[in-house]
Amino acid sequence: MKKWGVCFVLTFCWIIGTIGLILLIQVPQNSSRSFEIVKLLFLSIGGYGVVMATYFNIYNSLENTQYIKDQINFTKTENSFRFMERWDSPSLKQARDFTREVKKERSKISDDELRNRILNDKELERSVITAFNYWEEIYMSIQHKRVNEDVLKKAFDSTYCDMYDRFKVWIDSYEKNDPEGYTQLANLYRLWSK
């Protein structure tokens, strides 16, 4: 509607301007007034065509730009929801179950005991590594603007921060094996613990 409203205003102004020029036209001595009016009308129609074509091109470019932005935002939101769906995958289930178990017992378990429990159970260790790889992937997706951070933060900030705090002793020992991953986990924690 806005598009056609502006088009109407431009057309109206163009007609008024053309009429004004016709009224002000000065006829040279060797020409007739009607010939000059027809010449001005054709020039005006040609100019109007150029202006309207330019207007519609600009308007369509703006519409396309907005459409592309909307598509990008939609894709980011969809990527965010895929992360939320993956959180329920079986590969992360054991780590989540163990995390809940540790949460209940954390005050009774020493840091060394927690670290040894993870390191001595290869399946559990693989599951915990998978869980923290998942969080690294979320952080990298946020950094590269592939996801809607607000959606993920609402869904996971307290879960991640709680899990990070609980497994901090293991994460610190993990730093030697993967310093970049360690940094990403710490950065995500800083980002979401605010």
Tell me which of 100 and 65 has the higher pLDDT: 65
Alpha-carbon distances of 184 from 2, 27, 118, 127, 174, rounded to whole Å? 47, 78, 21, 18, 12
Measured CA to CA in angstroms, residue 117 lies from 79, 123, 125, 175, 177 at distances of 34, 11, 9, 18, 18
Structure confidence by residue, pLDDT tens digits, 165-180? 988 888 888 777 788 8
Please tell me the least confidently modeled range out of 35-39, 112-116, 148-152, 155-159.
35-39
Average pLDDT for residues 92-106, to the nearest whole number? 79
Under 8 Å between Cβ of 57 and 75? no
Residue 98 CB neighbours (<10 A): 19
User: For residue range 5-19, what is the model confidence (pLDDT) as tens digits?
Assistant: 887 888 888 888 888
Report whether pLDDT(1) > 70.
Answer: no
First-to-last C-alpha distance (Å) of the chain: 44
Please check whether residue 156 is in contact with residue 96, taking contact to mean a CB–CB distance below 8 angstroms: no
Domain spans in the chain, listed from the N-terminal domain onward = 2-72, 87-192
Task: Say if residues 37 and 25 touch (Cβ distance below 8 Å).
Answer: yes
Sequence-distant (6+) residues with CB within 8 A of 189 are 160, 161, 164
Give me the mean pLDDT over the 81-89 stretch: 90
Confidence of residue 68 (pLDDT cuts 50, 70, 90): very high
Residue 52 pLDDT more than 80? yes
pLDDT tens sequence across 120-170: 888 878 888 888 999 999 999 999 999 999 999 999 999 999 999 988 888
Query: Residue 27 gets which letter from DSSP?
Result: P
| Other beta carbons less than 10 A from residue 113's beta carbon | 12
Instruction: Tell me the mean pLDDT in the region 70-84.
Output: 94
